[in-house]
A and B are shown apart, each in its own frame.
Chain A
Amino acid sequence: MAEDPKTATAGSPFGKPQVRIDGRAKVTGRALYPSDEPVGNPAYAFLLTSAIARGRIRRFDLGEARAVEGVLDILTHETAGGEAKPPEMQSGGKTTTTLESDRVWHDGQIIGVVVANSYEIAREAAFRVRVHYEKEAPSASFGSPGAEEEVREPGEHKDYRVGNADAELASAEVTVDGWYGTPTQHHNPIELFTTTCAWENGKLTIWEPSQFVYGLRGNVAGQLGIDPEDVRVVSRFVGGAFGSKGGATARTAWIAVAARRVNRPVKLVATRDQGFTIVTYRAETRHHLQLAATRDGRLTALRHEGWELTSRPSDYNVSGTETTARMYACPNILTKVNIVHADRNTPGFMRAPPDTPYMFPLECAMDELAARLGIDPIELRRINDTQTDPTNGQTFSSRHLMDCFDRGAERFGWSRRDPRPGSMSNGDWLVGLGCASAAYPSNIAATAARVSLRPDGHARVQIAAHDIGTGAYTVVAIMAADQLGLAPEQVTVEMGDSSLPPASLAAGSSHTATITHAVAKACGELRDRIARAATTSNNGPLAGRDPATLVLSAGRLTAPDGAAEPLVDAVKRLTPGALEVYAENIPKGLSPEAMETLYKGKPPMSRGQNREDVTAYAFGAQFVEVRVHSRTREIRVPRMVGAFASGRIVNPLTAHSQYMGGMIWGLGAALLEKTEIDPRHARYVNDNISEYHIPVNADVRRVEVIMIPETDRDVNPLGVKGIGEIGIVGVNAAIANAVFHATGKRIRQLPIRIEDLL
Chain B
Amino acid sequence: MDVLLTVNGQQHRLDLDIRVTLLDALRERLGLTGTKKGCDQGQCGACTVLVGGRRVLSCFILAATVDGEVTTIEGLAGEGDPLHPMQQAFLDCDAFQCGYCTPGQILSAIACVQEGHAESEDEIHEYMSGNLCRCAAYPKIVEAVQRAKPLMQVQAKESD
State the A residues within 8 Å of B (CB).
19-20, 22-33, 35-36, 38, 118-121, 187-192, 237-242, 269, 271-272, 468-471, 653-654, 656-658, 660-661, 664-665, 668, 688-690, 694-703
Contact = CB atoms under 8 A, between A and B. Distances in A.
B73 A191 contact: no
Contact of A661 (B27, B36, B91, B135): B135
8 contacts: A23-B96, A27-B87, A192-B39, A272-B43, A657-B97, A664-B138, A694-B134, A696-B132
A27 B91 contact: yes
Given A190-B101, A689-B43, A29 B139 contact: no
A470 B140 CA distance: 15
Contact of A688 (B32, B41, B141): B41
B38 A29 contact: no
B135 to A, nearest CB: 5
Contacts of B141: 697
Contacts of A240: 97-98, 100, 134-135
A120 B134 CA distance: 28
A31 B136 contact: no
A694 to B, nearest CB: 6
Contacts of A272: 38-41, 43
Contacts of A121: 17
A25 B136 CA distance: 20
Nearest to A194: B37
B129 A29 contact: no
A189 B98 contact: yes
Interface in B78-125: 79, 83, 87-88, 90-92, 94, 96-103, 106, 124-125
Nearest to A124: B19
A31 B83 contact: no
A735 B101 CA distance: 27
A689 B103 contact: no
Contacts, number: 181
B17 A470 contact: no
Contact of A695 (B32, B43, B131, B138): B138
A23 B102 CA distance: 10
B53 interface: no
A26 B31 contact: no
B6 to A, nearest CB: 18
B79 A190 contact: no
B24 A29 contact: no
A658 B97 contact: yes
B31 A698 contact: no
A192 B99 contact: no
A697 B125 contact: yes
A192 B37 contact: yes
Given A27-B106, A29-B35, A697-B142, A469 B79 contact: no
A657 B27 CA distance: 29
B94 A29 contact: no
Contacts of B27: 36
A342 B20 CA distance: 40
Contacts of A188: 134
A27 to B, nearest CB: 4
A20 B91 CA distance: 8
Contacts of B106: 27
Contact of A20 (B94, B101, B135): B94
A288 to B, nearest CB: 32
B136 A700 contact: yes
A658 B96 CA distance: 10
A325 to B, nearest CB: 30
Contacts of B124: 697
B20 A120 contact: yes
A249 to B, nearest CB: 19
A558 to B, nearest CB: 34
Contacts of A32: 33
B3 interface: no
Contacts of A690: 39, 41, 43
Contact of B33 (A29, A697, A703): A29
A190 B46 contact: yes
Contacts of A696: 129, 132, 138
Nearest to A37: B33
B70 interface: no
Interface string B32-60: 11111111110110100000000000000
A592 B91 CA distance: 42
B91 A19 contact: yes
A469 B97 contact: yes
B133 interface: yes
Nearest to A121: B17
Contacts of B92: 19
B126 interface: yes
B131 A469 contact: no
B74 A657 contact: no
Given A29-B74, A239-B100, A689-B38, 7 more contacts: A32-B33, A118-B17, A189-B134, A190-B134, A271-B40, A688-B43, A695-B138
Contacts of A238: 98
B4 interface: no
A192 B34 CA distance: 15
Contacts of A469: 96-99, 135
A491 to B, nearest CB: 18
Contact of B39 (A187, A471, A688): A688
